[in-house]
Amino acid sequence: MPLCDGLSKVMQNCSGWVNNLCFMKQSLFSVVPLSKSHIRDGFYSGSEALDRYFSSQVGQDIKRNITKCFVAIDNDKQKIAGYYTLSAAQIPLPGLPGEIARKLPRYDAVPASRIGRLAVDRHYQGKRIGSALLADALLRSSNSSMAVYALLVEAKDEQAEAFYLRYGFIPCISLLHTLFLPLKTISKI
């Protein structure tokens, strides 16, 4: 399954994705784990649910080891430009399209990592931060010490679903707005 040119370009033009987001070969942004030193006040993506989660809930989920949160930091302004959460998940085998499921072992489910939330601050929207955060999540998932077959997302609405479809994500069968991307796909980039 080919990835869309956008993600391919984002990943090809940048080296060191785990530590830096690069645009035009300059390190304008860094992607790092969220820490207490990051100032979350003032982050506004336009989604009340995503903003509320980021301001008041994500820290508790990190402490309970429910999720990890990674933030894109504007290196000049030291502001959070965007964030995503990543956690362990599984995809029920019957939820995969038949042509993919036939090639997998007959387990009840396959291992995955899940982007639970992804948001970009309004001041940084339209600058491909979301694409870069997605690329970072793909690389972190593929470099995991645990077996991870795919990156899984549950799009919150049709606009979010269209974003993931643009990057080659495949809809799960009978799971509305749930999509996945096999990690083997990134090895083709």
Q: Is the pLDDT of residue 14 over 80?
A: no
pLDDT at 12: 45
Q: Is the pLDDT of residue 108 over 70?
A: yes
The CATH number assigned to the domain with range 5-188 reads: 3.40.630.30
Confidence of residue 123 (pLDDT cuts 50, 70, 90): very high
Backbone angles phi and psi of 150, in degrees to 5: -150, 165
Q: Is the pLDDT of residue 47 over 70?
A: yes
Q: Is the pLDDT of residue 5 over 70?
A: no
Residues 6+ apart with CB under 8 A from 64: none
Q: Tell me: the pLDDT tens digits for 150-186?
A: 999 999 999 999 999 999 999 998 788 999 999 988 7
| Averaged pLDDT for residues 129-155 | 94
Query: Higher confidence at residue 68 or residue 20?
Result: 68
Percent of the chain with pLDDT over 70: 85
Rounded distance between C-alpha atoms, residue 10 and residue 161, angstroms: 19
Confidence of residue 188 (pLDDT cuts 50, 70, 90): low
Tell me the three-class secondary structure of the chain, residue by residue: CCCCHHHHHHHHCCCCCCCCEEECCEEEEEEEECCCCCCCCCCCCCCHHHHHHHHHHHHHHHHCCCCEEEEEEECCCCEEEEEEEEEEEEEEHHHCCHHHHCCCCCCCEEEEEEEEEEEECHHHCCCCHHHHHHHHHHHHHHCCCCCCCEEEEECCCHHHHHHHHHCCCEECCCCCCEEEEEHHHHHHC
Q: Is the pLDDT of residue 128 over 80?
A: yes
Confidence of residue 187 (pLDDT cuts 50, 70, 90): low
pLDDT at 19: 41
pLDDT at 189: 52
Average model confidence (pLDDT) for the chain?
86
| Averaged pLDDT for residues 90-99 | 91
Domain map (residue ranges) of the chain:
5-188
Q: Is the pLDDT of residue 23 over 90?
A: no
| Averaged pLDDT for residues 29-35 | 95
